[in-house]
Chains A and B, each alone.
Chain A
Amino acid sequence: MRPFSFQKPGSVEEAVAVVEPMGVAGQGGAFHAGGTTVIDLMKLHVLQPPSLTDLGGVLERGIEEGEDGTLRVGAGTTMAEAAEHPAFLRAPVLSEALWKAASAQLRNVATLGGNLLQRTRCPYFRDNVSACNKREPGSGCAAKDGINRLLAVLGTSESCIANYPGDWANALILFDAVLETRSGGGGREIAFGDLHVPPGEDPARETILGDDELITAIRLSVPEWASRSVYTKVRDRDSYAFALTSAAVALDLDGDTVREARLAIGGAATVPWRAREVEDWLAGRELTEDVAVEAGRRAFAGARGWGENDFKIPLGRDTVARGLMEAKAMTPRNSGDSQ
Chain B
Amino acid sequence: MATDPRSAPPDLGISRRSLLKGTAASGASAFGAFQAGAQEAEAVPAGGPEVEVEITINGRPERFTLDARTTLLDLLRERLDLTGTKVGCNHGQCGACTVLVDGTRINSCLRLAATLDGAEVTTIEGLAEAGEMHPMQQAFIDNDGFQCGYCTPGQIMSAVGCVTEGHAGSEAEIREYMSGNLCRCGAYKGIVAAVVQARDETEARGAS
- Nearest chain B CB to A176's CB is how many angstroms away? 30
Chain A 142-168 per-residue mask, 1 if CB under 8 angstroms from chain B, else 0: 000001011000000000000001000
Question: Which residues of B sit under 8 angstroms from A238, Cβ to Cβ?
Answer: 179
Please determine whether A104 and B167 come into contact, CB atoms closer than 8 angstroms: yes
Q: Is the CB of B48 within 8 A of A103?
A: no
Q: Contacts A1-B69, A45-B6, A106-B92 known; A123 to B110 CB distance under 8 Å?
A: no
Contact between B33 and A126, CB atoms less than 8 A apart: yes
In this complex, what residue of A is CB-closest to B166? A84
From B42, B69, B167, give the contact of A4 (CB < 8 A): B69
- Given A104-B158, A240-B179, also A6-B110 (CB < 8 A): no
- Residues of chain A in range 199-247 having any CB-CB distance to chain B below 8 Å: 236-242
Q: How far is the CB of B109 from chain A (nearest CB, A)?
A: 8
Asked if B42 contacts A43 (CB within 8 A), the reply is yes
Known: A43-B42, A104-B158. A121 touches B176 (CB 8 A): no
- A121 to B33, Cβ gap below 8 A? yes
The docked-state distance in angstroms from the alpha carbon of A29 to that of B160 is 36
Q: Is the interface of B mostly helix, strand, loop or mixed?
A: loop
Other-chain contact of A35, B31, B68, B112, B176 (Cβ < 8 Å):
B112
- CB A209 to nearest CB in B, in angstroms, measures 22
Q: Is A334 an interface residue (CB 8 A)?
A: no
**In the bound complex, what is the Cα–Cα distance between A121 and B28 (angstroms)?**
11
Inter-chain contact A103/B180, CB cutoff 8 Å = yes
Q: Do A44 and B68 contact each other (CB < 8 Å), given the known contacts A6-B51, A104-B167?
A: no
Docked-complex contact B115 and A105, CB < 8 angstroms: no
| Contact across chains for A237 and B30 when beta carbons are under 8 A apart | yes
Q: Which residues of B contact A150 (CB under 8 A)?
A: 32
A122 closest partner in B (C-beta): B32
Cβ B6 vs Cβ A35 within 8 A:
no
A242 touches B112 (CB 8 A): no
Q: Are A105 and B106 in contact (CB under 8 A)?
A: yes
Give CA–CA (A236, B32) in the complex, Å.
11
- Asked if A70 is at the interface of the complex by the 8 Å CB criterion, the answer is no
A27: Cβ under 8 A from any B Cβ: no
B121 within 8 A of A: no
Q: Is A336 an interface residue (CB 8 A)?
A: no
Which residues of A have CB within 8 Å of B42? 1, 43
Q: How far is the CB of A123 from chain B (nearest CB, A)?
A: 5
A241 closest partner in B (C-beta): B30
Determine if A6 and B112 form an interchain contact, defined as CB atoms under 8 angstroms apart.
Answer: yes
Residues of chain B within 8 A of A240, CB atoms compared: 30, 179-180
- Cβ of A69 < 8 Å from any Cβ of B? no
In the complex, whether B161 has a CB less than 8 A from a CB of chain A is: yes
A180 within 8 A of B: no
Instruction: Known contacts A36-B110, A43-B36; decide if A106 and B68 are in contact (CB<8 Å).
Output: no
Interface of chain A: mostly helix, strand, loop or mixed: loop
Contact at B106–A108, with CB atoms within 8 Å? yes
A128 on interface, CB distance cutoff 8 Å: yes
Q: Which residues of A contact B98 (CB under 8 A)?
A: 105
B13 beta carbon closer than 8 Å to chain A: no
| B32–A105 CB distance below 8 A | no
Within 8 A of B (CB), among A9-54: 32, 35-36, 39-40, 43-45, 52, 54
Q: Does A56 contact B115, Cβ atoms closer than 8 Å?
A: yes
B111 contacts A by Cβ under 8 Å: yes
- Kindly state whether residue B137 has any CB partner on chain A within 8 Å: no
B17 contacts partner chain A, Cβ-Cβ < 8 Å = no
- Closest residue to B31 on the A side, CB-wise? A121
Q: Does B85 contact A (CB under 8 A)?
A: no
Query: Among the listed A36, A43, A108, A123, which residue makes an inter-chain contact with B34, where contact means beta carbons less than 8 Å apart?
Result: A123
Question: Is the C-beta of B177 less than 8 angstroms from some C-beta in chain A?
Answer: yes
- CB of A50 to closest CB in B, whole Å: 10
Given the known interface contacts A105-B105, A106-B107, the answer about A39 and B112 at a Cβ–Cβ threshold of 8 Å is yes
B114 touches A6 (CB 8 A): yes
Interface flags, A165-200, vs B, CB<8A=1, else 0: 100000000000000000000000000000000000
26 pairs across A/B with beta carbons < 8 Å?
Answer: A3-B47, A3-B49, A5-B49, A6-B114, A8-B114, A35-B115, A36-B110, A40-B110, A43-B36, A44-B36, A44-B91, A99-B176, A103-B95, A104-B105, A104-B158, A104-B177, A104-B178, A105-B92, A105-B106, A106-B92, A109-B107, A126-B34, A127-B36, A128-B6, A149-B32, A236-B30
Using a CB–CB distance below 8 Å, which chain A residues touch chain B? 1-6, 8, 32, 35-36, 39-40, 43-45, 52, 54, 56, 80, 99, 102-106, 108-109, 121-123, 126-129, 147, 149-150, 165, 236-242
List the 8 shortest-distance A-B pairs measured between CB atoms, nearest first.
A103-B180, A3-B48, A239-B179, A240-B179, A121-B32, A5-B49, A6-B68, A150-B32
